[in-house]
Amino acid sequence: MIERWALISGLKGDLDTYELIQKDLKKTPGNITLFVLGDMIGPEKNCNKLLHRLINPKSNDLQPWCIYGWWEEQILLESGYRGNQRAEALRINKGEEVVKSLINAVDKSFLDWIAALQFGFVELDCGLIHGSSKDVGDDLTLDTPPLTLLDRLTRLQVNRLFTARSTQQFHLELTEGILNSEVHDLTGNHKKEQKVPQKAVIGVGAGKNYTLYDVGTDNTQFVRAGYQSEKKKNGFGLHF
């Protein structure tokens, strides 16, 4: 049976969208593993119902495998889970009101569960992470310099990096490249030619926009929840 990963992020407390995605995935052929790449919470909506559902999936739900994202990091910072640090970046950029809204959007009883979430998963030769291996807030997009993308792939020692922070859906493949390195030290000169390995960075999207990844064929399909049936008609799902 085809093995597929469904990669979602940026639900920000939106249980309706989550249910829509679950419904979509039930119709999607193959053996599907569902990864939630962070930002399950946000300041706009009460997130308790979604969190409860993620922790206690319904019997016919696909089991969600969750990691923490930028918004989870902010609530953990503000709630004292990161030592003396607080969510200062959020406070400066969005203001005190947003900090309060975030705190109010999540019942304290969920904080331990959030704090126990992992930074990322490494599955096969793929890294699944909210931002990047450098930082949960690392905003990788199509416009990020390839050198930076390569660095993030190298740090995690993976060939595919699935990222969610930018909220964009994209598939950027490093196809070719070369770099000559010459090191001179006290033992002499050492020359090396390094080639760009075949690696890719995939932006999985956010909210209703999510990504299906076919593990066997390495194909990425960008999907919008609720449009599965229209996908075939309009060709919205993009294969790469």
Partner 1 sequence: MSQTWIISGPPGCGKTSWILNTFKNHSGNCGYVRLGGYSEINLEQAINSKIDFAFLKDQIPNLLDLSSSKLPLEVEKENILIIIEFPQFFIPKFQGISGIDLRVIKELEIYNLQPNKYLHFGRDLELPIKDTLDFKAIESCSIDLKKNIWDPASLNTFWFELVNGAYGDVYRAKALMNLPDGRYILFNWILTQKGSQYQTLNQVAPLNGRPERHSEIVIQGKNLNFQLIKSTINNCLLSDAVLEHHQATLRNSQLQTSRN
Partner 2 sequence: MNQAVISCLHANLPAVEAVLKDIELQGITNITCLGDLVGYGPQPNEVIELIKEKKIATCQGCWDEDVVDGLDACDCSYPSQIAERRGHFAHQWTTEKLTKENKDFLANLPYSIRKDKCLFVHGSPNSQHEYLLPDMDAFAALERVENAKAEILFCGHTHQPYIRELANGSIAVKVKNSGSKDIQKKEMNLPMRRIVNAGSVGEPRHGGTKATYVVYNDITNDVKIREVEYDIELTCKAIINAGLPPIFAWRLKNGFEFAERAEDASHVCER
Residue number with CB closer to partner 2 (100 or 190) = 190
Q: CA-to-CA distance for 83 and 81, rounded, in angstroms?
A: 6
Which DSSP state fits 197?
P
Tokens of 164: 């969610």
Distance of closest approach, residue 65 Cβ to partner 1, in angstroms: 9
Please give the Cα distance from 88 to 106 (Å, whole number).
Answer: 19
CA 183 and chain centroid, separation: 37
What residues numbered 132-191 form the site for partner 2, per CB under 8 A?
A: 134, 142, 145-148, 150-151, 154-155, 168-186, 190
Q: Around Cβ 15, how many Cβ atoms within 10 Å?
A: 18
Listed in sequence order, the residues at least 6 apart from 77 whose beta carbon sits closer than 8 Å to its beta carbon are: 85, 86, 87, 88, 90
Q: Which does 41 bind (CB under 5 to 8 A by kind): partner 2, partner 1, none?
A: none
Q: Is 21 helix (H, G, I), strand (E, B) or coil?
A: helix
Which of partner 1, partner 2, none lies near 29, with the C-beta cut-off 5 to 8 A by kind?
Answer: none
230's tokens: 């229209």
Whole-number Å distance between alpha carbons of 160 and 208: 22
Output the smallest distance, CB 217 to partner 1, in A: 18
44 CB-side CA count, 13 A: 8
Give the residue among 74, 34, 72 at the shortest CA–CA distance from 54. 34
Binding positions for partner 1, 104-143, rule CB under 8 A: 121, 123-124
The verdict on 231 binding partner 2 (CB under 8 A) reads: no
Q: How far apart are CA 37 and CA 67, in angstroms?
A: 5
Q: Considering CB distances under 5 to 8 angstroms, the limit depending on partner class, which of partner 1, partner 2, none binds residue 123?
A: partner 1
Whichever of 121 and 236 has its CB closer to partner 1, that residue is 121
From partner 1, partner 2, none, interface partner of 183 (C-beta below 5 to 8 A by class): partner 2
Q: Which does 113 bind (CB under 5 to 8 A by kind): partner 2, partner 1, none?
A: none
With CB cut-offs between 5 and 8 Å by kind, which of partner 1, partner 2, none does residue 64 bind?
none
CA R_g for the chain: 20
Q: What is the amino acid identity at position 228?
A: Q
Q: Which is nearer to partner 2, 41 or 206 (CB)?
A: 206
Give 101 or 167: the residue with its C-beta nearer to partner 2.
167
For residue 41, the minimal CB distance to partner 2 (Å) is 21
Binding site for partner 2 (CB under 8 A): 119, 134, 142, 145-148, 150-151, 154-155, 168-186, 190, 192, 194, 196, 203, 205, 209, 220, 222, 235, 238, 240
Binding site for partner 1 (CB under 8 A): 121, 123-124
